[in-house]
Every structure is written in C-alpha cells, then in structure tokens.
C-alpha cells in the first residue's frame, strides 16, 4: 500500500516500512482482545464482531490512507482582494488517543490570513478529518492541521484551536467526565502578533 508508506512519515518518524496485516490477522487479534476482556468470542452474539471491528477500524482510521496535500492542492485566487481572517469554527471530529486507543471527541476551529489564495471551505474540514482519523494526541493533531495548511497554502498565518474531551480521562483512570482540553497552534502573523490571536479567539467565541 503505497499510500500508507507515503503518509506514515507524518505520524511515524522512522525508516520502518509498515506492513498492513491481513483481514484474518486483524480478526484474530480482536478475538484475543475479546478473551482478554473476559468474554467468549465463540458465543453467538460475538461471532461476527471481529469482522465488524476490522471493518470499523478501516473507517475510524481511514486518515492513514489519506494525504492532506491531495485535499489542499486546489486553491482559488479569485477573492476580490479579500485578505482578512477566514475562520471555520466548530468543525466536529472523532479521533482516538494514541495511548489507550479510546475516543477523543471534539471540535476544531481553524483560521488563516490569506496571501492572495484561499481554500475551498470544505477542504478545512477534510484536513481535520484526515488527521482525526489517526491515532493522535490533541497537541500533535493541532500542530499537524496548522502545518499542513501553512505548507500548502503559504498564508500570512494560521490559527488552530481544538477543544476536546478525552474518553481515556472520562471512562478510566481519573474518571473526570466533562473536563475539556484546549490546545492552540499559531503560525506567521498569528504567532507574531498577540492582537491577531485575540481577534481569532474573539471570533471563535462570538455567537
Ligand atoms: Zn488516552
């Protein structure tokens, strides 16, 4: 799978070539985890579960087969000189933490200051989805979204804010339900000028 090898350097910084196991190997692994949880993979209700889980994983982790550069490649210049903030806020996403493989549920707010070119608005949501559908830390995901837009669009600045609830905090360990984690990454004019950061935050919060 060329796509995987191509995409992995963004997530795994090593020279390892990662082979994807067969469907059967994946299903066998799910059976082991079912037994590890204390259940019987042979009981009727669980017979098709390994196949369903393997299929669900391909969807939940589809981001490994998608390259943000493909999404961000097309830009538009016909913007009548518009050069102020473009903000897409409240982009919902579902990810999984790389430490426990349980869900991270949240919203991303992504803004940029155009430099003559703009992105189709739906592309920003697609980029959030691509990075969300991988094993993540919230910090890394925030930076990856900002860097992908920065690299492809070369805007005057990018601002990304993610607010999310981590099920590994809510369901296990400290069991702090409702606690949300906020992360931000600023590049360019947003990084250099605190007033631009305030403007971004104000636009994110205004209702
Ligand atoms: Zn976790």
Inside any domain, residue 188 = yes
User: The domain spanning residue 172 has which CATH number?
Assistant: 3.30.1130.10
Across 2-11, 70-79, 182-191, the highest mean pLDDT is recorded for: 182-191
Whole-model pTM: value is 0.89
Between the CA of 159 and the centroid of ligand 1 the distance, in Å, is 25
User: The domain spanning residue 16 has which CATH number?
Assistant: 1.10.286.10
Mean pLDDT of the residues in the chain: 91
Do 177 and 94 lie in one domain? The reply is: yes
Name the percent of the chain lying above pLDDT 70: 93
Number of structural domains in the chain: 2
Between the CA of 100 and the centroid of ligand 1 the distance, in Å, is 4
Between the CA of 136 and the centroid of ligand 1 the distance, in Å, is 9
What are the pLDDT digits (tens) for 89-131?
A: 999 999 999 999 999 999 999 999 999 899 998 999 999 999 9
Inside any domain, residue 55 = yes
Do 80 and 59 lie in one domain? The reply is: no
Position 66 scores a pLDDT of 95
Q: Which domain holds residue 145?
A: 76-205
β-pairing verdict for 86-97 and 135-136? parallel
Position 176 scores a pLDDT of 81
Residues with CB under 5 A from ligand 1 (ion): 97, 99-100, 168
**Which contiguous run of DSSP H or E holds residue 181?**
strand 181-186
CA distance 121 to 186: 19
C-alpha count within 13 angstroms, C-beta hemisphere, residue 182: 4
Active site residues: 97-100, 138, 166, 168
């Amino acid at each position: 799978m060329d796509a995987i090898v191509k995409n992995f350097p963004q997530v795994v910084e090593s020279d390892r070539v990662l082979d994807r196991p067969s469907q059967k190997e994946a299903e066998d692994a799910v059976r082991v985890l079912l037994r590890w949880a204390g259940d019987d993979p042979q009981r009727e209700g669980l017979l098709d579960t390994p196949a369903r889980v393997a299929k669900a994983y391909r969807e939940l982790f589809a981001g490994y087969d998608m390259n943000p550069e493909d999404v961000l490649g097309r830009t538009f210049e016909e913007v009548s000189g518009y050069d102020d903030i473009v903000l897409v806020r409240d982009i919902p996403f579902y990810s999984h933490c790389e430490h426990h493989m349980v869900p991270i549920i949240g919203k991303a707010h992504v803004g940029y200051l155009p430099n003559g070119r703009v992105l189709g608005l739906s592309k920003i949501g697609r980029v959030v989805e691509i990075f969300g559908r991988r094993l993540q830390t919230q910090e890394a995901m925030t930076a990856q979204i900002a860097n992908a837009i920065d690299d492809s669009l070369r805007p005057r600045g990018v601002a990304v804010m993610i607010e999310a609830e981590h099920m590994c905090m809510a369901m296990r360990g400290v069991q702090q339900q409702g606690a949300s984690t906020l992360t931000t990454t600023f590049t360019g004019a947003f990084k250099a000028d605190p007033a631009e950061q305030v403007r971004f935050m104000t636009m994110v919060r205004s209702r």
